[in-house]
């Protein structure tokens, strides 16, 4: 009996997923549990495995399609079984002669000007997104229309050069007689992944939609480091690192000063009583920000364990989309990379983000003498539309005070 495979619902906030790659093609045999496709949400990449063994009777969507969740994407069965009853309305039937076009594309697109190629709507979008405008292309669609698959095939065969190199190609090269040498062209331009493109878009939107400013300070890390050493020496204690301790201090500061635990949505400020803390996480696919919900209710050991669990899931690509949304405040820690100071970028609609820097020795005057004391750097970025400089400075001072007093606050509870 034929078995349809659905685009899974990967979280309450996910309505559609990108079909990134087919691992198997129509007619291939698949084993139960074998990966047949890669899909992407706004935040992460996931795999779809075959729920049963059989033959892949048909694929209903192309790579690069955005597919609504719970929509059939393919059918597994035995040769001769019908797949058409399972075909969703949003997917057009495929034919050997013409790659599939989405059924929701306009039935009668506006005609191209005389002398230009006849492009399908999706092909035209592909050309615009990739700045790819060949003078000629063989079309496999009706009446020779150029489909997206035709441009993709041609695009994949073309050498990749940057826009700068493209301009340089129109100018004399540095070789004899104006010959263009390798150094004139530079390195081929790499194509960004869809996740990288989404990160880039969000960063641009953040800077365009907010009035960001950053305050820099530092906190005496003597007690912080002493507590960390005590934790390491006691094997009965959970693995709690400096980053976990700073997160704990930040959460406590947000509880005491909730003005920064807020979101600006459609011109309205929403302050939250619960601290849903996001933390920046470097993964092989790019920057992610897992969210620790109701973090103010966690003990320091529970917080450290949750951070490690979410980090591992983000790195290996198994994190649930719901664990990547809903943060009310974010912390980005680059201290382990030796960064002394940086400017964290807001993640709207959040109104603030804290950057944590490296621990360094700094000269301090005490009783007329100069001492070198280890300090941890802190960088707070706020949206000036909501948080003025003075409240931002008070919050940063509060975080600093929490860090400097953490040994006394936690030693009796660890």
Q: Residue 272 forms beta bridges with which residues?
A: none
Neighbours of 389 (CB within 10 A): 11
Specify the pairing of strand 329-333 against strand 352-366: parallel
Residue 92 has pLDDT above 60, yes or no: no
Lowest mean pLDDT among 180-184, 258-262, 382-386: 180-184
Q: Note the pLDDT tens digit of each residue in 326-353.
A: 999 999 999 999 999 999 999 999 999 9
Residue 283 has pLDDT above 70, yes or no: yes
Considering the chain, what is the average pLDDT of its residues? 83
**pLDDT score at 159:** 55
**pLDDT score at 163:** 47
Please state the φ and ψ torsions of residue 188, each to the nearest 5 degrees. -60, 145
Domain architecture of the chain: domains with CATH: 3-86 (2.40.50.100), 104-162 (4.10.320.10), 195-410 (3.30.559.10)
8 Å CB contact between 297 and 276:
no
Q: Note the pLDDT tens digit of each residue in 97-135.
A: 344 444 444 444 444 444 456 776 667 777 777 777 776
Q: Which residue has the tokens 């619960």?
A: 274
**pLDDT score at 170:** 52
Model confidence at 158, pLDDT cuts 50, 70, 90, reads low
pTM (two decimals): 0.65
Model confidence at 189, pLDDT cuts 50, 70, 90, reads low
Q: Residue 240 forms beta bridges with which residues?
A: none
Lowest mean pLDDT among 18-22, 41-45, 161-165: 161-165
Looking at 225-351, which runs of residues are DSSP E strands? Answer: 262-265, 268-271, 277-279, 281-283, 286-288, 291-292, 329-333
Query: To the nearest whole percent, how much of the chain has pLDDT over 70?
Result: 79
């Amino acid at each position: 009996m034929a078995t349809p495979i659905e685009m899974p619902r990967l979280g309450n906030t996910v309505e559609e997923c990108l079909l990134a790659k087919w691992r198997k093609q129509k007619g291939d045999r698949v084993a139960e549990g074998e990966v047949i496709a890669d899909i992407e949400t706004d935040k992460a990449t996931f795999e779809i495995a075959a729920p049963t063994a059989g033959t892949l009777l048909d694929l209903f969507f192309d790579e690069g399609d955005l597919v609504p969740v719970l929509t059939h994407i393919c059918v597994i069965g035995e040769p001769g079984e019908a797949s058409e009853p399972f075909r969703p309305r949003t997917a057009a039937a495929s034919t050997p002669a013409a790659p599939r076009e989405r059924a929701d594309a306009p039935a009668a697109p506006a005609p191209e000007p005389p002398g230009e190629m006849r492009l399908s709507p999706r092909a035209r979008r592909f050309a615009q997104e990739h700045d790819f405008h060949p003078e000629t292309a063989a079309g496999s669609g009706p009446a020779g229309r150029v489909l997206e698959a035709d441009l993709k095939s041609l695009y994949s065969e073309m050498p990749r050069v940057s826009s700068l190199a493209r301009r340089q190609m129109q100018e004399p090269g540095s070789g004899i007689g104006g010959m263009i040498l390798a150094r004139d062209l530079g390195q081929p331009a790499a194509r960004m992944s869809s996740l990288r493109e989404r990160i880039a878009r969000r960063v641009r939107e953040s800077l365009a939609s907010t009035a960001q400013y950053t305050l820099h300070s530092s906190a005496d890390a003597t007690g912080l480091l002493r507590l960390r050493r005590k934790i390491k020496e006691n094997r009965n204690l959970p693995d709690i690192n400096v980053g976990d301790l700073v997160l704990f201090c930040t959460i406590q500061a947000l509880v005491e000063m909730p003005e920064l635990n807020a979101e600006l949505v459609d011109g309205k400020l929403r302050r939250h009583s619960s601290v849903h803390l996001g933390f920046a996480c470097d993964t092989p696919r790019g920057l992610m920000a897992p969210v620790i919900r109701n973090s103010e209710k966690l003990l320091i050991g529970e917080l450290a364990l949750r951070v490690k669990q979410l980090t591992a899931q983000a790195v290996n690509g198994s994190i649930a989309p719901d664990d990547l949304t809903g943060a009310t405040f974010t912390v980005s820690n680059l201290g382990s990379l030796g960064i002394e100071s940086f400017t964290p970028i807001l993640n709207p609609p959040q109104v603030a983000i804290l950057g944590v820097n490296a621990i360094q020795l700094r000269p301090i005057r005490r009783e007329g003498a100069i001492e070198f004391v280890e300090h941890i750097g802190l960088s707070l970025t706020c949206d000036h539309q909501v948080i003025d400089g003075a409240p931002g400075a008070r919050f940063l001072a509060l975080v600093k005070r929490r860090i400097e007093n953490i040994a006394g606050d936690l030693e009796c509870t660890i």
